[in-house]
Amino acid sequence: MKSIVNAAPGLLNHGVKDESVAPYTRTPEELPQHLPKFLIYAQKGPSVLDKYPEQLLAGNERNLMYGDETFSETSKYFTHQIPHANVVNSVGNSAMYVRVLGKNHGPKPTLQLFLDVLETKVDLYERNVDGSIKTDVAGDARVVGQADGYRVKFVVKNIQTEADKDLFGTLDAVVGDQVDPITGATSTRYPILEQRHNFYGEDGNLAGIRLWGQNTENNGGLPTRMINRERAFPYSFGVIRKNTKTGNSKFQETIFGEQFITVTLKPETVDPLVNRRLHLTERALEDYQNLTDTRYPLVYGEFGELAVYQPNIDLLLEKFHAAEIPFLTGQSDFSAAPSEKYMFNFITGTNTKNVPYHSFVFVDAPDSVRFSPNTNVFAGGGSDGEMNLTNFANSVEEYMGRYADPDDELMDDAYHVESHFYDTGFPLQTKYELIKFISERKDTFIHLTPFEFGERLLAQAEEFSVATALMSRLSMYPESTYFGTPVYRGLIQGCTGRVRNSQFKGHVSANYEVAFKSAKYMGAGNGRFKSEFKFDGYPGHIVDNLYDLSIRWVPDSIRVRNWDTGLNWISRYDRKQFYFPAFKTVYQEDTSVLTSYLTACILLTVNKTLAKCQRAFSGRSDLTMPQFTKAVNDFMSSSLEGRFDNRVVIRPRAEFTSLDQIRNYSWTVPVEVGAPGMKTVMTAYAVARRIEDMQTENA
């Protein structure tokens, strides 16, 4: 940096000082307060066996991630979770989705490319001046001799069983099936590359690749600068997908919109024109997906793993290059130097002018593949497995049991942001596992039903019996052992019905209607209740979507019993309409505000905000205790302000208790939530009076 040395005339210009920069800020992620999690079978997409199985989706994002068939009520992927997921999605409510797999499912579809190589004598053909093979008027080539060379064929296989999935990337060369007719020598089959699909399921068998050597006839312009500097042959690589209806295959674009990309098989190759690395391992996956950089949209490519057998490629290129040296001319792409081996195109067997080599011959056989710009090579071996309700319930039990483990990754509430889970008709044993959803985390709510999908509809006494069993299991998970607060973050909803305007004609749990109303009122992406869709009272509590209800009348004597066991019901509103008399949690103290479902939902959000508050203030050391508590209270107040349709009064009371002060690293944040009680019982009577008395009073 220049400085003033003496009084010699001159200008010392320090450039520009930027004072326009705003303080460092981040836009917080907006989430709906009603954010259910659904477990599904799916046509495609990440599953419970993958690294990131939970997906936060809404609208068409679901179809793009899991496939259209997943959410069809007539497809083989249909389960009783789908109608509830669809109705929540229909009003724009985001949800967390988790794909479970069918029993005895296959491995992820794979594409294994081998080159079967036979070292033998090959025919030499008469050539034109440009090196191309000369043919007669009948189109036949004339053999002019023989030379040492190689007869080769590409063979495609795939992994067929889940038990063999660990073989990926570990293959060895094996004996091939070509035989020299003179010497009896056999070929060697070398693994060249393997690709594994991102997802389990038969849908992945529709994915494949195209791979071909670039030349002056099939490419608009060769990367000559790269060729001259790197001495590596350029190949075109593209990912394709087959349309099951037309049978046509279409290129899948890269994240930058390219139909196909240029790659090489020489390690560390860099295109000097654009400073882009070109080796197949550095482009075949990365160009098609983004799974780790959360600043940009999540994008899954068709293929998630690639294994390139570079030692085999290097060995074969040495052999092929050496065999071609006797036939080099001034028009050849490469010289006799050993380092020139990467300029040999063994994928399509021609040079950059599309002239075939002399010593390298492709063999056509029933199991062989000849690469070209139009050759499609597909993955295989994927299958969906046995998808039925029993297997589905078992998979759901296994997944939901994780919520009872305080060390499970599902306890990371910054990433796993779900708040509700709907029992849509699971067997009783599975319902017990669903309850674990609320066992460790304080920001979750479970919706249960006595109904079991696919079984007969239950009578009132049977619903009561199941609800009693559920209530007994729920009581095992009290809200607070510190304060002695029983369980409240659950709701048992009785009754079933059929869904209007649905292709599915069977009965669903009335939780369908609860999910619909909750999604409309509490499912906005901005995290605020929508006042026009409140449903605790007329007209919001009218049943909108269900008809042919299983239980239409509940006598007073049964209502009292149902209430005590936490079982909600549906009643007639008039001759044509039905309504929910209340949305009661499983909390047993009637005088408490915790009996209200909507109040419970508000407390979920308060708990989520408290967790966010801890993350926001963890590590702060620039504030005094009074400044710190004020900042915490301001954070909580601003985060919760205006979100609950004016239902509650919220007062954060951040403090440093005496123990906090001694520790000097902890703080305490009680949040007072003032909520109204849920009104359910009306005392009424009529008073008969003389009209003259009433007229006199009104005079």
Q: Pick the closest to residue 612 from 642, 628, 632 (CA basis).
A: 632
Model confidence at 13: pLDDT above 60: yes
Question: In angstroms, rounded to a whole number, what is the distance separating the alpha carbons of residues 232 and 255?
Answer: 25
- What pLDDT is stored for residue 26 in this prediction? 60
Amino acid occupying residue 633: N
Interval 266-324: pLDDT, tens: 999 999 999 999 999 999 999 999 988 888 888 999 999 999 999 999 999 999 999 99
The tokens for 554 are 């509940």
pLDDT band of 24, cuts 50, 70, 90: low
Model confidence at 30: pLDDT above 90: no
Model confidence at 165: pLDDT above 60: yes
User: Per DSSP, what are the bridge partners of residue 270?
Assistant: 277
Q: Give me the mean pLDDT over the 337-354 stretch.
A: 96
Check residue 194 and report its DSSP letter. Answer: E
- What pLDDT is stored for residue 137 in this prediction? 86
Q: Pick the closest to residue 348 from 306, 320, 367, 325 (CA basis).
A: 320
Preceding amide of 539 cis, omega within 30: yes
Model confidence at 194: pLDDT above 90: yes
Model confidence at 27: pLDDT above 70: no
Interval 392-422: pLDDT, tens: 999 999 999 999 999 999 999 999 999 999 9
Question: In which region does residue 174 sit, left (phi positive, over 0), alpha (psi from -120 to 50) or beta (all else)?
Answer: beta
- Distance, C-alpha 147 to centroid of its chain: 55
Check residue 165 and report its DSSP letter. Answer: G
Average pLDDT, the chain: 95
**508 neighbors 87 (Cβ within 8 angstroms):** no
Maximum Cα interatomic distance, the chain, rounded to a whole number of Å:
130
Q: Are strands 567-568 and 490-493 parallel, antiparallel or unpaired?
A: parallel
Q: Which residues of 282-291 are buried (b: 16+ CB within 10 A; e: fewer)?
A: bbbbebbbeb
pLDDT band of 11, cuts 50, 70, 90: confident
| 3-state secondary structure (DSSP) of residue 271 | strand
- What pLDDT is stored for residue 5 in this prediction? 83
CB atoms within 10 A of CB 392: 23
Question: In angstroms, rounded to a whole number, what is the distance separating the alpha carbons of residues 160 and 164?
Answer: 7
Interval 99-145: pLDDT, tens: 999 999 999 999 999 999 999 999 999 999 888 999 888 888 999 99
Alpha helices in 535-596 (DSSP H): 556-564
pLDDT band of 618, cuts 50, 70, 90: very high
Residue 620 vs residue 139, higher pLDDT = 620
Q: Give me the mean pLDDT over the 558-564 stretch.
A: 95
Calculate what percentage of the chain has a pLDDT beyond 90: 90
Phi/psi at 285 (5° precision): -105, -50
Q: Give me the mean pLDDT over the 18-26 stretch.
A: 71
- What pLDDT is stored for residue 331 in this prediction? 86
Model confidence at 25: pLDDT above 70: no
**203 neighbors 145 (Cβ within 8 angstroms):** no
Model confidence at 260: pLDDT above 70: yes
Q: Pick the closest to residue 218 from 350, 358, 333, 329 (CA basis).
A: 350
Q: Give me the mean pLDDT over the 10-36 stretch.
A: 81
Question: In angstroms, rounded to a whole number, what is the distance separating the alpha carbons of residues 1 and 7?
Answer: 18
Residue ranges per domain, the chain? 36-104+386-599, 110-378
pLDDT band of 677, cuts 50, 70, 90: very high
Compute, in degrees rounded to 10, the torsion defined by CA atoms 194, 198, 204, 208: -40
Q: Give me the mean pLDDT over the 526-548 stretch.
A: 96
**570 neighbors 582 (Cβ within 8 angstroms):** no
Question: In angstroms, rounded to a whole number, what is the distance separating the alpha carbons of residues 429 and 426?
Answer: 8
User: What's the first-to-final CA gap in the chain, in angstroms?
Assistant: 96
| 3-state secondary structure (DSSP) of residue 111 | strand
Topology of the domain covering 36-104+386-599: Rossmann fold (3.40.50)
List of residues 6+ apart from 554 with CB closer than 8 A: 460, 562, 569, 571
Task: Compute CA distances 25 → 28, 195, 539, 629, whole Å.
Answer: 9, 42, 43, 21
**103 neighbors 391 (Cβ within 8 angstroms):** yes
Q: What is the DSSP string of 300-313?
A: --SEEEEEE-HHHH
Q: Which residues of 176-212 are buried (b: 16+ CB within 10 A; e: fewer)?
A: bebeeeeeeeebbbbbbbbbbbbbbbbbbbbbbbbbb
Q: Pick the closest to residue 620 from 665, 585, 660, 661 (CA basis).
A: 665
Q: Give me the mean pLDDT over the 248-263 stretch.
A: 95
List of residues 6+ apart from 635 with CB closer than 8 A: 613, 616, 617
Model confidence at 28: pLDDT above 70: no
